[in-house]
Amino acid sequence: MSEIKIKMTGISKIFETEDLETHALKSIDLTINAGDYVSISGPSGCGKSTLLAILGLLDMPSAGEYIIEGENVSDLTLDQAAEIRNSKIGFIFQSFNLIDELSVFDNVALPLRYKDKVPSDAEIATRVKACLEMVDMSHRASHKPNQLSGGQQQRIAIARALVAEPAILLVDEPTGNLDSKSGDQVMDVLEKLNNSGTTICMVTHDPRYADMAKTQLKLLDGSILTSPDLQVAV
Ligand SMILES: Nc1ncnc2c1ncn2[C@@H]1O[C@H](COP(=O)(O)OP(=O)(O)OP(=O)(O)O)[C@@H](O)[C@H]1O
Cβ of 22 closer than 6 Å to ligand 1, yes or no, is yes
- Which ligand 1 atom is nearest residue 25's CA? 14
From ligand 1's centre to the CA of 148, what distance in Å? 33
Cβ of 43 closer than 6 Å to ligand 1, yes or no, is no
Instruction: Say whether pLDDT at 62 is over 80.
Output: yes
Does residue 232 belong to any structural domain of this protein?
no
Domain that holds residue 163: 4-224
From ligand 1's centre to the CA of 25, what distance in Å? 10
Does residue 229 belong to any structural domain of this protein?
no
Does residue 231 belong to any structural domain of this protein?
no
From ligand 1's centre to the CA of 3, what distance in Å? 31
Question: Considering the entire predicted model, what is its pTM?
Answer: 0.90
For atom 20 of ligand 1, the residue with the nearest CA is: 45
Does residue 34 belong to any structural domain of this protein?
yes
For atom 1 of ligand 1, the residue with the nearest CA is: 15
- Which ligand 1 atom is nearest residue 219's CA? 21
Cβ of 222 closer than 6 Å to ligand 1, yes or no, is no
Does residue 212 belong to any structural domain of this protein?
yes
Percent of the chain with pLDDT over 90: 82
**ipTM at complex level:** 0.96
Does residue 70 belong to any structural domain of this protein?
yes
Does residue 15 belong to any structural domain of this protein?
yes
For atom 27 of ligand 1, the residue with the nearest CA is: 44
Q: For 3-47, what is each residue's pLDDT tens digit?
A: 999 999 999 999 999 899 999 999 999 999 999 999 999 999 999
Cβ of 33 closer than 6 Å to ligand 1, yes or no, is no
Task: Give me the CATH number covering residue 51.
Answer: 3.40.50.300
Single-letter amino acid, residue 36: D
Per residue, what are the HEC states of the chain?
A: CCCEEEEEEEEEEEEEECCEEEEEEEEEEEEEECCCEEEEECCCCCCHHHHHHHHCCCCCCCEEEEEECCEECCCCCHHHHHHHHHHHEEEECCCCCCCCCCCHHHHHHHHHHCCCCCCCHHHHHHHHHHHHHHCCCHHHCCCCHHHCCHHHHHHHHHHHHHCCCCCEEEEECCCCCCCHHHHHHHHHHHHHHHHCCCCEEEECCCHHHHCCCCEEEEEECCEECCCCCCCCCC
Q: What is the rounded distance in angstroms from the CA atom of residue 41 to the CA atom of residue 220?
A: 9
Number of domains in the chain: 1
Q: For 127-177, what is each residue's pLDDT tens digit?
A: 999 999 999 999 999 999 999 999 999 999 999 999 999 999 999 999 988
Cβ of 62 closer than 6 Å to ligand 1, yes or no, is no
